[in-house]
Chains A and B, each alone.
Chain A
Amino acid sequence: MSNAITEIALVLEDGSVFEGEAIGHVPANGIAVGEVVFNTTLTGYQEVMTDPSYAGQIITFTTSHIGNYGTTSLDNESRGTFARGVIVRDMARRESNWRSEQSLDAMLKAHSLPGIAGIDTRRLTRILRDSGSLRGAFGTADQASLLAAAKSDTGTAGIDLVSQVTTPSAYNYGNGKFKVVAYDFGIKTTILSCLAEIATVTVVPASTSAEEVLAMSPQGVFLSNGPGDPEMVGGATAAIRSIVEAGTPTFGICLGHQLLSRAFDGHTFKLPFGHHGGNHPVRNLATGAVEITSQNHNFCVDPDSLAAVADITHLNLNDNTNEGMRLKSHRAFSVQYHPEAGPGPHDSRYLFTQFAEMMEGK
């Protein structure tokens, strides 16, 4: 093989160093920097990399072989990639799958996404697990510069990342029974596909006001997933409250869940290292059933803060954190996890049907 190996390092803000090889895009200044998180999903690396919720973050894949089945434009979760980098144990040299259009390495280059391969990702994961998400930097630069870069990164808390990923202008998607307006805080394509099965969706920028939305007379409003700290999504909570109080059936996912909660005076806080994977058990408290769910969030809703206004509907069985709620006096509900999957199990897609039923007035 003629591929020359470029040896690079990853340095975390705590000073931990990992030696590896460059993959994907090579950043101009030799440094990729961001908040390092891990994802334990076995499949779906492309969906994860194109999920806008990862804005500002460097994604570590715990699965050791990444890139095996290549990539296809059909599996993109957004118009591009918003993560700062990817970390893998092993990057496939050759992919194999009938659906593949280009190799993952080519896709990373096409999206200017840098990566590092060959490192002990398990050691890294254990560090992140024990100390929480850490800022880190990798690249060809020397280790001192990498450490300095890591320390100077802003992280994701207290940063407005939504404005970086939301659609600049409204657009329509699908042609279903109901008319739904979807707030794009970093919406995933799979969510749009799920909504499209029940609705004609108008996707609007995160900054769209309640008045503008209500003027479209939607039968329902959807609050999307998105990156970062819910506290920083300025203005959205007020708009959401107005829309909900106007009687519009509302459904939120992930960041949408946090924003709906905050709109009704709920509190959110940052988890030690977040939930990032496709195997989290969640109990539906109404039925008692356990759903295996796809998850990707660092912030979480404090259920006690909602006690007066909402019923808790879903619970994470791994750490008993909140996974869903339904407002007591309004037609609105939301979940912290990703019922649309993409990637992940399809156990919770019934929630889209539930949204349709709510719009139907059931």
Chain B
Amino acid sequence: MPRRTDIHNILIIGSGPIVIGQACEFDYSGTQACRVLKSEGYRVVLANSNPATIMTDPDFADRTYIEPLTPEILAKIIEREKPDAVLPTLGGQTGLNLAMALYEKGLVGVPGAPELIGANAEAIATAEDRDKFKQAMIEIGLNVPKSGVAHNMEESLAVLEEIGLPVIIRPAYILGGRGTGIANTMEEFLKIVADGLDASPIREILIETSIVGWKEYELEVMRDKADNCVIICSIENFDPMGVHTGDSITVAPAQTLSDVEYQKMRDAALACIRRVGVETGGSNVQFALNPANGEMVVIEMNPRVSRSSALASKATGFPIAKIAAKLAVGYTLDEIPNDITRATPASFEPTIDYVVTKIPRWAFEKLPGTSGVLGTQMQSVGEAMSIGRTFPESLQKGLRSLEQGRLGLNCDPGESLYDSLDDAALLAKAAIATPERIFQVGEALRRGMGVDKVHDATKIDVWFLDQMQIIVDERHAMAGLKVADVSRAQMRRAKRLGFSDAQLAYLWNSDEMIVREQRESLGVIPTYKTVDTCSAEFAAETPYHYSTYEDETEVRHSDRPRVIILGSGPNRIGQGIEFDYCCVHSSFALRDAGFETIMVNCNPETVSTDYDTSDRLYFEPLTREDVLNVIAAETIASGGVPPKVIVSLGGQTPLKLSGLIDPALIAGTSPHSIDLAEDREKWNQLCNQLSIPQPPGGTAVTVDEAKVIATRVGFPVLVRPSYVLGGRAMQIVHDQDALQRAMEQMASDGSLGKEGGLSAERPVLIDRFLEDATEVDVDAIRDHTGEVLIGGVMEHVEEAGVHSGDSACAIPPQTLPAWVVEVISEYTKSIATALDVRGLINVQFAVLGTTVYVIEANPRASRTVPFVAKATGVPLAKVASRVMLGASLEELRVEGLLTPPVTGGHVSVKEAVLPFNRFPEVDTALGPEMRSTGEVMGIDRTFGRAFVKSQTAAGTVLPTSGTVFLSLNDGDKPAGLVVAKRLRDLGLGVAATTGTAAYLAKFGFPVDRVVGKLSEIEGSTMDNAVELVAQGEITFVVNTPHGRGSREDGEAIRKAANSNRVSSVTTVEAALAAVNGLWEQRLSEVEVCSLQEYHGR
């Protein structure tokens, strides 16, 4: 069956902003889908609100709608574009949920409307509706955990009556397990049921017998129209049932299943996909297995490409998303060639000769108040994947890929954390799943507690534990050696178990580079093997490599000029998809320009780790050792010519390595210049020379030094560590006591302490905080001729003090006078020139009155590069990459790569998306520490309309009826007056705290309801804001935190709003922008427009 010719025009639904549970993997799948369908000759229409994605690049679709992903907006896109078909299975849970919403409105999947391809409504409902799914599984003879469905508390109690505690509660139609939990007690049960009902868009939950402690597996299945089914990958969870699979360490292939059990599971997975009726594409089926008797139950099925599909694709080399897109338009598996072998068809089951380990990365340190305990609700923000020939090697590589200061499975300075724990305390900690558990287990084994004892405490399979014990045993065997005395056999054994040079240096009390030298002199150097889908049975065409210590390396010789692009590693708050966008664009642009591009990265979710993004992919940790090894391997493969290395596109991860790589190899801005911008003293000097004002400040290593600086510059001060991203541990402090606390915190506990704490090389920066200043971000490119291109000037909506990553911003600037924007441009050019930048630079300014202060400059790609590219139509990352490799801007203009920016006619607003709905215990007030996981873009004719779109896209429900609650600090009250006025004009009710109400009354705006502060209402009959929110009387909350003193009141209200799903804003600027937008919008309906139209293409 060849491709379908009865459809021509296909709408792909993207997954929107990066949130916990839905990350870059859907950019990977969506990008693949767009590429495939375009190359098959279809007209592709794409809807996605996330500007940081590669898929929303205007080149990937015929029409790209960066619009909010709501059924209403999609209906408008469908009306405008009239697609023949809608493909929802590559856009995560968001894509499926939207498809179902559109189906229910009769807009897709019914006669006369676009067809749903990939999975139809019936299949989606069968897989997603817990009760239907359970019935379907029973029908085909598969076991499911005993369970019942409930829609309210009464039904829930009836179900509990039947199956008894402990139970696991799962809401229907949710992503990443939101609202899911395990209840061991009645109290827990009542709470989790209530949360679960709220989390489900259809207020439905499944209550089932808890099978915590069972072994957990996943199979990735593909099916085509002719009913051919294949399993792409089996995955075994290291963490037993009870931890969400997205929060589990997972291993591929499954390790402890015999063929008898595996085939039984395979049969079940195939029966499942057939019964659910996923017509074409990928699905993922999860199983639990009782380790005592092999009893197998089906847990759930995703009728779409998922996070696990991305992992399975990277783990096997089988491009699930690409193939799923082809299957959706009518191809069968046997008609599609296997990309990697080219000689064999895609209708086969990959087999692998290595072990893949995925380890999640969390961000609890940024979310004070969270317990850090893992459960059935996903909390991780990113993941690293590693490939080794054996599990020990793969595990240790994975742990160092996380970039959290750990060098492998302990045997590093970080392990001292456990010194204070006695055996019993250590084991008790290891029994609870947390991000630290893997290290605690390692430590327990090192202390000789034994595999069985640790198994009893953790239920982690003894095979995994014994493999970890092998690592630990080797460590014991090597302890006490001197580097110079280590034998070749000893060194080789250590490296084959994944020990990093840095771990060995720690063990032997030496230095990493000395270990490296000794290792190389013994001839123990890594070999690079190929990921080929077939365990070497056939010759592989696609160079996708990983390192291991074996006999033979498979990197092929090449004479072409080559460039290594260092990626950004696991997603984390502050460093995510935006940097992958830059790396991928770089690879595309440099490939087009005739370079051989080589990607190094360890994030399985990304487009950069797709094997056909670059000429060669090394799936490796981004540490000094691993990167130097890749450079060495590439140098050998080209007969001694070293490659160029790009360090400035992947965020802080590669930038941190810039000083450790031969400066002659670095493409673009020199490490010297990078250091100049990062070293506080040198930077101050430079600004002085350039006569560019800076907020007064200094650097400190001790508390006393900090206090001296603060006294000199005056409070409040902004305190931040150097060499971090995303405002990690950044604080605004208002007095000496707070300053002392901040300094002590940075020096001691937390991940920052683990990462090395404070030192002369890593001092704390202390600056006068400019209250009420407007923050401005600039992205620019400078070439070797000295020309500077201003890519975009972004004015932040929130005032300075809110981290730029958490702040909304607009292009073009909305309130800055034109001459101020010009000054900013001139300052930027001057700084770029002084730093001798070759490539991208991001400069942050704060404008207070008529003074423009420079806050900091970073000669690297910033988070905003993709947003600017989409707002202006200029492919900044591509242009910058060419500039780094020697092209001038003028040459690129002639070539046609660099086009003039599209200005006028539209305003682009970027808004941050925060993870608070997963962490009800966290204060939602914004501050200098970044906490957003992703971003959306609103684009429209005016700022107001674009801002409203950005809010809708971010999931903020702006009020159109009901009562809005205002609680403002004194500084915000004048602006609050305008907000209140607009709300009245919009016909909304206003409630306010006593202070705010009294202020508004002075100007003739009596509020409908005066609400007491928590401290006031004790013993009085006044309304309590928290209760009003809980009772649903408030539809929107504007609460701006007070700079100093007690924040408890505000915090309680914000938390109440968060946990009751009432949208809130925490800055008055955002409130103003929102009400102005609503005001504009009431005049004419929302309209949609594609990027290509905005860009005039």
Residues of A near any B CB (own CB < 8 A): 1, 18, 38, 40-44, 46-47, 62-65, 68-69, 72, 74-75, 89-90, 92-99, 119-123, 125-126, 129, 277-281, 283, 288-290, 292, 317-318, 341-346
A122 contacts B353, CB within 8 Å? yes
Q: Confirm or deny: B266 has a beta carbon within 8 angstroms of a beta carbon on chain A.
A: yes
Contacts of B334 in A (CB 8 A): 281, 283, 290, 317
B535 contacts A125, CB within 8 Å? yes
Which of B259, B292, B332, B462 touches A43 (beta carbons < 8 Å)?
A: B259
A75 contacts B260, CB within 8 Å? yes
Chain B residue with Cβ nearest A92: B463
Contacts of B451 in A (CB 8 A): 94
Chain A residue with Cβ nearest B227: A289
Q: Roughly how many angstroms separate A341 CA and B462 CA in the complex, as a whole number?
A: 28
Q: Confirm or deny: B418 has a beta carbon within 8 angstroms of a beta carbon on chain A.
A: no
Partner-binding segment picked from B151-159, B249-257, B856-864: B249-257
Given contacts A89-B389, A92-B463, contact A63 B347 (CB under 8 A): no
Given contacts A62-B353, A68-B255, A292-B348, contact A129 B266 (CB under 8 A): no
Q: Confirm or deny: B539 has a beta carbon within 8 angstroms of a beta carbon on chain A.
A: yes
Q: Can you name 16 A-B residue pairings with CB atoms under 8 Å?
A: A18-B551, A42-B253, A46-B258, A62-B537, A75-B258, A92-B463, A98-B292, A99-B258, A99-B261, A281-B348, A290-B332, A317-B344, A318-B344, A318-B538, A342-B259, A345-B349
Given contacts A94-B462, A318-B344, A345-B266, contact A125 B537 (CB under 8 A): yes
Which of B259, B292, B389 touches A64 (beta carbons < 8 Å)?
A: B389
Given contacts A94-B466, A290-B334, contact A126 B536 (CB under 8 A): yes
A122 contacts B234, CB within 8 Å? no
Given contacts A98-B294, A99-B294, contact A68 B463 (CB under 8 A): yes
Q: Roughly how many angstroms separate A97 CA and B260 CA in the complex, as a whole number?
A: 12
CB contact list, B290-348 vs A, under 8 A = 291-294, 332-334, 343-345, 347-348
Q: Roughly how many angstroms separate A69 CA and B256 CA in the complex, as a whole number?
A: 5
A65 contacts B391, CB within 8 Å? yes
5 interchain residue pairs of minimum CB distance: A44-B259, A343-B259, A62-B535, A96-B463, A94-B466
**A91 nearest CB across to chain B (Å):** 11
A126 contacts B294, CB within 8 Å? no
Chain A residue with Cβ nearest B389: A64
Give the one of A68, A72, A74, A288 with max B CB within 10 A: A68
A40 contacts B351, CB within 8 Å? yes
Chain A residue with Cβ nearest B289: A98
A318 contacts B343, CB within 8 Å? yes
A-B contact count (CB 8 A): 170
Which of A125, A288, A290, A317 touches B536 (beta carbons < 8 Å)?
A: A125
B347 contacts A278, CB within 8 Å? no
Contacts of B182 in A (CB 8 A): none
Contacts of A278 in B (CB 8 A): 349, 351
Give the one of B255, B343, B552 with max A CB within 10 A: B255
Q: Roughly how many angstroms separate A62 CA and B530 CA in the complex, as a whole number?
A: 13
Q: Roughly how many angstroms separate A95 CA and B234 CA in the complex, as a whole number?
A: 19
B351 contacts A346, CB within 8 Å? no
Chain B residue with Cβ nearest A63: B353
Which of A47, A94, A129 touches B463 (beta carbons < 8 Å)?
A: A94
Contacts of B1075 in A (CB 8 A): none
Contacts of A126 in B (CB 8 A): 536, 552
A317 contacts B351, CB within 8 Å? no
Give the one of B226, B256, B291 with max A CB within 10 A: B256
Contacts of A44 in B (CB 8 A): 258-259
B263 contacts A98, CB within 8 Å? no
B473 contacts A1, CB within 8 Å? yes
**A293 nearest CB across to chain B (Å):** 10
B551 contacts A65, CB within 8 Å? no
Q: Roughly how many angstroms separate A38 CA and B537 CA in the complex, as a whole number?
A: 9
Chain B residue with Cβ nearest A316: B344
Q: Roughly how many angstroms separate A281 CA and B350 CA in the complex, as a whole number?
A: 11
Residues of B near any A CB (own CB < 8 A): 226-228, 230-231, 234, 253-263, 266-267, 291-294, 332-334, 343-345, 347-355, 389-391, 451, 461-463, 466, 470, 473, 527, 529, 534-539, 550-552
Contacts of A345 in B (CB 8 A): 263, 266, 349
Give the one of A97, A125, A288 with max B CB within 10 A: A97
**A357 nearest CB across to chain B (Å):** 21
Given contacts A123-B551, A123-B552, A292-B348, contact A97 B343 (CB under 8 A): no
Q: Roughly how many angstroms separate A62 CA and B537 CA in the complex, as a whole number?
A: 9
Kindly list 8 other residue pairs between chains A and B, CB separation below 8 angstroms, not including A40-B535, A42-B351, A126-B552.
A40-B537, A64-B389, A98-B292, A120-B527, A288-B226, A318-B345, A346-B263, A346-B266
**B566 nearest CB across to chain A (Å):** 27
A279 contacts B350, CB within 8 Å? yes
Q: Roughly how many angstroms separate A109 CA and B341 CA in the complex, as a whole number?
A: 38
Contacts of A318 in B (CB 8 A): 343-345, 348, 538
**B350 nearest CB across to chain A (Å):** 7
Q: Roughly how many angstroms separate A279 CA and B266 CA in the complex, as a whole number?
A: 13
Q: Roughly how many angstroms separate A283 CA and B254 CA in the complex, as a whole number?
A: 27
Contacts of A280 in B (CB 8 A): 348
Contacts of B551 in A (CB 8 A): 18, 119-120, 123
A129 contacts B539, CB within 8 Å? yes
A279 contacts B349, CB within 8 Å? yes
B352 contacts A42, CB within 8 Å? yes
Q: Roughly how many angstroms separate A343 CA and B266 CA in the complex, as a whole number?
A: 12
**B130 nearest CB across to chain A (Å):** 29
Q: Roughly how many angstroms separate A123 CA and B470 CA in the complex, as a whole number?
A: 24
Contacts of A69 in B (CB 8 A): 256-258, 463
A341 contacts B263, CB within 8 Å? yes
Given contacts A47-B259, A69-B258, contact A98 B293 (CB under 8 A): yes
B351 contacts A96, CB within 8 Å? no
Contacts of A89 in B (CB 8 A): 353, 389-390
**A237 nearest CB across to chain B (Å):** 31
Which of B291, B348, B470, B536 touches A129 (beta carbons < 8 Å)?
A: B536
**B1096 nearest CB across to chain A (Å):** 47
A292 contacts B230, CB within 8 Å? yes
Q: Roughly how many angstroms separate A75 CA and B347 CA in the complex, as a whole number?
A: 28
**A9 nearest CB across to chain B (Å):** 12
Contacts of A47 in B (CB 8 A): 259
B550 contacts A122, CB within 8 Å? yes
Q: Roughly how many angstroms separate A119 CA and B1056 CA in the complex, as a whole number?
A: 61
Q: Roughly how many angstroms separate A97 CA and B333 CA in the complex, as a whole number?
A: 34
**A6 nearest CB across to chain B (Å):** 14
Chain A residue with Cβ nearest B489: A7
Q: Roughly how many angstroms separate A63 CA and B256 CA in the complex, as a whole number?
A: 13
Q: Roughly how many angstroms separate A228 CA and B230 CA in the complex, as a whole number?
A: 30
Contacts of B527 in A (CB 8 A): 120
B228 contacts A289, CB within 8 Å? yes
Contacts of B348 in A (CB 8 A): 279-281, 292, 317-318
Q: Roughly how many angstroms separate A292 CA and B229 CA in the complex, as a whole number?
A: 9
Which of A277, A290, A342 touches B537 (beta carbons < 8 Å)?
A: A277
Q: Roughly how many angstroms separate A297 CA and B77 CA in the complex, as a whole number?
A: 56
Which of A18, A40, A281, A344 touches B347 (beta carbons < 8 Å)?
A: A281
Contacts of A38 in B (CB 8 A): 537
A99 contacts B260, CB within 8 Å? yes
**A345 nearest CB across to chain B (Å):** 6
B538 contacts A129, CB within 8 Å? yes
Q: Roughly how many angstroms separate A343 CA and B537 CA in the complex, as a whole number?
A: 18
Given contacts A1-B473, A65-B390, A97-B258, contact A317 B347 (CB under 8 A): yes
Q: Roughly how many angstroms separate A68 CA and B462 CA in the complex, as a whole number?
A: 10
**B236 nearest CB across to chain A (Å):** 10
Q: Roughly how many angstroms separate A155 CA and B291 CA in the complex, as a whole number?
A: 43
Q: Roughly how many angstroms separate A41 CA and B259 CA in the complex, as a whole number?
A: 9
Give the one of A44, A94, A346 with max B CB within 10 A: A94
Contacts of A119 in B (CB 8 A): 551
Q: Roughly how many angstroms separate A72 CA and B354 CA in the complex, as a whole number?
A: 25
Given contacts A42-B352, A317-B345, contact A90 B228 (CB under 8 A): no
Contacts of B343 in A (CB 8 A): 318
Given contacts A44-B259, A318-B538, A345-B266, contact A122 B463 (CB under 8 A): no
